[in-house]
Structure 1
Amino acid sequence: MALNLDTIRATADRVAASHHLEVVDLEFQGGAKFRTLRVFIEKNAEGRAKLAEKAASEGAEEELTLPQGVPVEMLSGVTHEDCATFAQDFGTVLDVEDLMPGAEYTLEVSSPGLERKLFRPEDYTRFTGSLVKVQTFTPVNNNRHWQGRLTGFAGNVLTLDLSAVKQKGKAKKAVTAPVVEIPLANVEKAQLVAEF
Structure 2
Amino acid sequence: MSEHSTTGPESRDRLSALLGPVVEASGLVLEDVALKTSGTGLVLQVLVDLPEGLEGGVDLDRIAEVSRALSEELDREDPVPGSAYELEVSSPGATRELSLPRHWRRAVGRLVRVNPVEGERFTARLLEAGEDAVVLQRSHQAKKGMPPRLLEPERWALADVRRARVEVEFTD
Task: Give TM-score, length-normalised by structure 1.
Answer: 0.64
Secondary structure, aligned partner of 2:84: coil
Contact 1:131 1:192 in 2 (8 A): yes
**Runs of 5+ in structure 1 lacking a partner?**
49-72, 167-176
Contact 1:41 1:109 in 2 (8 A): yes
Separation of aligned partners in 2, 1:102 and 1:148: 49
Asked if 1:18 corresponds to 2:25, the answer is yes
Structure 1 position 132, deviation (Å): 0.9
Provide the residue aligned with 1:133 in structure 2: 113
Contact 1:153 1:159 in 2 (8 A): yes
Asked if 1:8 corresponds to 2:15, the answer is yes
Secondary structure, aligned partner of 1:150: strand
Determine which of 40, 61, 82 is the counterpart of 2:62: 82
Asked if 1:152 corresponds to 2:152, the answer is no
Provide the residue aligned with 1:191 in structure 2: 165
Secondary structure, aligned partner of 1:44: coil
Contact 2:101 2:131 in 1 (8 A): no
Count, aligned residues: 154
Provide the residue aligned with 2:3 in structure 1: none
Deviations 1:82-109 (A, max 9, x none): 2122112212323422222342222111
Separation of aligned partners in 2, 1:159 and 1:32: 43
Structure 1 residues 30 and 182: CA distance shift in structure 2, 3 A = farther
Separation of aligned partners in 2, 1:27 and 1:194: 26
Structure 1 residues 165 and 38: CA distance shift in structure 2, 3 A = farther
Letter in 1 for 2:106: R
Letter in 1 for 2:126: L
Separation of aligned partners in 2, 1:165 and 1:84: 44
CA RMSD of aligned residues (A): 2.9
Provide the residue aligned with 1:59 in structure 2: none
Contact 1:132 1:148 in 2 (8 A): yes
Structure 1 residues 104 and 86: CA distance shift in structure 2, 3 A = same
Contact 2:97 2:166 in 1 (8 A): yes
Relative to total residues, which structure has the larger helix share, 1 or 2? 1
Contact 2:101 2:130 in 1 (8 A): no
Structure 1 residues 180 and 42: CA distance shift in structure 2, 3 A = same
Deviations 1:102-150 (A, max 9, x none): 42222111222111222321221232221112234x31xx32x232111
Secondary structure, aligned partner of 2:62: helix
Separation of aligned partners in 1, 2:76 and 2:137: 49
Task: Give TM-score, length-normalised by structure 2.
Answer: 0.72
Provide the residue aligned with 2:95 in structure 1: 115
Structure 1 position 45, deviation (Å): 4.6
Separation of aligned partners in 2, 1:36 and 1:125: 30
Larger mean Cα displacement after TM superposition, 102-111 or 28-37: 28-37
